[in-house]
Structure 1
Amino acid sequence: MRDKCKLSICAIMRDEGCYLMEWLEFHKLVGVERFYLYNNNSVDNTTDIVIPYIQTGEVIFHDWPLHPGQIPAFEHCLKHYGRESEWIAFIDLDEFLFATEKNDVREVLEEFKDYPGVVVNWLCFGSSGHIKRPKGLQIENYTKRAPDNFQSHQVVKSIVRPEKTLGSAGTPHEFTYLDGLPVTESKQPLLGGSRTDISSTKKLRINHYKTRSQEDGDYKTRRGRPTTLQPRNPQLFKAYDRNDVEDLTIQRFLPQLKNALAERERVLNYELLLNQQYKTPNQLVFDYQKYDMIDSANNKLKRSFKQLQEIQKELDKSKSWLDHIEDNSLMV
């Protein structure tokens, strides 16, 4: 069994490749140590993006073709990985969980260690007027949300203590527990259902980018629901495309997130370059000045470059030696 971590996330995903790295790196910033991801028939580049995270042990990855598959995925996660985490948050790829004032969600969860679960309210963000999918980050592009009294803000997602959790209650929002009830951030027991009477996001919140752009919304409608075999209502985008309030709370993480993503991109580019060089050992020239080499990544690349040069020299020597042997054998 892997080392027990404080906070993990379980999510099912489909064709979220263009948003996946942002989502992963953001949640790493706010204290998530491990991700249990269930790939539900993606046809984009999801697998390519997630491979480096699998290699580091940050992501546990399952191909999950079952449809509808969200509830079975959550059940599978609790059964097989429940003992590996003190807390598991069950959210989606269009949801960003964070502490409203503190930087680390784990610090807030310390207040709730005597409860089997904590529920967190949504805040639903609209398209911010984007018709086409804009370049850049979600948390930078989508800054406007529905008003505080928007009815869907009463919807919750759950962060559960697996050791005290029996399983899903049949929806992606709520769970059943061995003993006791989950509580809101104000420590009020949630008596049932997936909604609170009053939305509260003073300690914890989920920015729910439910619509994203019109282009994204149209695709989500065609894709259908992850929990049923029913298609989505085509009017869903219009109902949730509310842009009444500008909310920049999450953007305090933006500088760190951009740095993390830039570093991840550099490492990926170096690894791709090295792989290319291994495949074409006769083409070992590339311009170091073209890249912003930093610290260990720079040293690693230079060492590998030198090693490849030595290998090339040895290959040339071996080829020369074999040619010599072959010539002599022909002379005999």
Structure 2
Amino acid sequence: MPSLFSRKPITKLAFRPPAPEPGRDGVALVLIVRNEERHIAEWASFHRAAGATHVFVYDNGCTDTTLPCLREVLGDCLTVLPWNQRLADASTGREIHNQVLAYAHAMRNFGGAFRWMACIDADEFLVPKRTESIGAALSHLGDIPSVTLPWHNFGRNAHRVPPEGGVIANYTRRAADPMSGARGVTNFKTVVDATRVSAVRVHSVDIDGKAVTWNDRGERSDLKGRSARRFYSAEHLQLNHYYTRSEAELAAKIARGSNQRVAAERHAARVRRNVANIEAAEIEDRAAIDFLARLETTDSARL
């Protein structure tokens, strides 16, 4: 009979960080995908416009046009790696979180070439608030190695089916308080200097063997302290998390199941609870729209 501990997935991996490469620069994005054809071109176009230098895509068994869409938008700025697997520790049977494994692989093998690396999902957008690129939004931080970005969660915005015109234009209402602590909704991603990362999870990293991070104002905290209201910041770079999009896409999200071994009923209840928490109190947020308008104005001025 396997113990309770043996059934718990391995969600943290430690590794020796890569050495910084000469002349390293830019922002690399890491993405694990499976069948995201509806919105992936918008995701790729946005982040290319926002100055992403390269995108490393881990293909978790795509059977649709996700990869051709990415290739059309990103061209030589794209690397695709096959990642359709479910691995477990042979001694205990514990599943190794496939997403964390991809992140560790990317940081260790590719991170040394870039100043910043961000491991995000296809429903997450890195939005510069004042500048014209992600790198510029972080330039004031000097040699800080890890920047915590809290989720800004967007719900269905009253859409029953996917609207024409894309995600950014149609989803402009989000949870009013990113730090509300609503169960299962408040979380983070980090933008990191991979040459300083010693361990990785889905939503956090260790830096030089320590569980520490900084906000985008440059203030340091341990990982537990990043949930404190005083640490919250999205002054320079905001992480938009389009948690569900339309009701039809929410139903599909539930039907796909969890990326871990979680019972279908439990997964469905958790997702519906998260959506209810997001939509309980909403405000308008046009940061992504404003960023694109700022780029368009700048491009027009250059002509």
User: TM-score, normalised to structure 1's length?
Assistant: 0.70
Shift of 1:121: 1.3
Shift of 1:229: 2.1
Structure with bigger RCO (C-alpha 8 Å, 6+ apart): 2
Equivalent AA in structure 2 for residue 144 of structure 1: R
Q: What does 1:1-332 align with in structure 2 at a 5 Å threshold?
A: 4-52=24-72, 56-67=75-86, 68-148=97-177, 149-151=179-181, 154-168=186-200, 171-178=201-208, 181-193=212-224, 195-198=226-229, 199-226=232-259, 228-230=260-262, 231=264, 233-235=267-269, 236-240=271-275, 241-242=278-279, 244-254=282-292
For 2:67 and 2:147, locate their aligned partners in 1 and report how far apart those are by CA, in whole Å. 31
Q: Secondary structure at the match of 1:245?
A: strand
Number of equivalent positions: 255
| Greater fraction helix | 1
For 2:225 and 2:257, locate their aligned partners in 1 and report how far apart those are by CA, in whole Å. 21
User: What is the CA deviation profile of residues 120-178 of structure 1, one whole-angstrom value per residue up to 9, with x for unaligned ones?
Assistant: 1111011110111112210011111111253257522100101111231xx31111122
For 1:2 and 1:37, locate their aligned partners in 2 and report how far apart those are by CA, in whole Å. 24
Sort the Cα spacing of 1:3 and 1:237 in 2 relative to 1 into closer, same or farther, 3 A. farther
User: What is the CA deviation profile of residues 298-332 of structure 1, one whole-angstrom value per residue up to 9, with x for unaligned ones?
Assistant: xxxxxxxxxxxxxxxxxxxxxxxxxxxxxxxxxxx
| Runs of 4+ deviating beyond 6 Å | none
CA contact (8 A) 2:196 2:207 kept: yes
User: What is the CA deviation profile of residues 277-314 of structure 1, one whole-angstrom value per residue up to 9, with x for unaligned ones?
Assistant: xxxxxxxxxxxxxxxxxxxxxxxxxxxxxxxxxxxxxx
CA contact (8 A) 1:173 1:194 kept: no
5+ residue gaps, structure 2? 1-20, 87-96, 297-303
Equivalent AA in structure 2 for residue 189 of structure 1: R
Shift of 1:70: 0.4
For 2:101 and 2:254, locate their aligned partners in 1 and report how far apart those are by CA, in whole Å. 22
Identity %: 25
Equivalent AA in structure 1 for residue 168 of structure 2: I
Q: Secondary structure at the match of 2:220?
A: coil
For 1:104 and 1:210, locate their aligned partners in 2 and report how far apart those are by CA, in whole Å. 23
For 1:75 and 1:103, locate their aligned partners in 2 and report how far apart those are by CA, in whole Å. 29
CA contact (8 A) 2:152 2:239 kept: yes
Of structures 1 and 2, the larger Rg is shown by 1
Equivalent AA in structure 1 for residue 235 of structure 2: K
User: What is the CA deviation profile of residues 100-139 of structure 1, one whole-angstrom value per residue up to 9, with x for unaligned ones?
Assistant: 2222221122222322211111110111101111122100
For 2:288 and 2:58, locate their aligned partners in 1 and report how far apart those are by CA, in whole Å. 26
| Greater fraction strand | 2
User: What is the CA deviation profile of residues 30-83 of structure 1, one whole-angstrom value per residue up to 9, with x for unaligned ones?
Assistant: 1211101111112221122123356x3211111210234101100110121111
For 1:160 and 1:212, locate their aligned partners in 2 and report how far apart those are by CA, in whole Å. 28
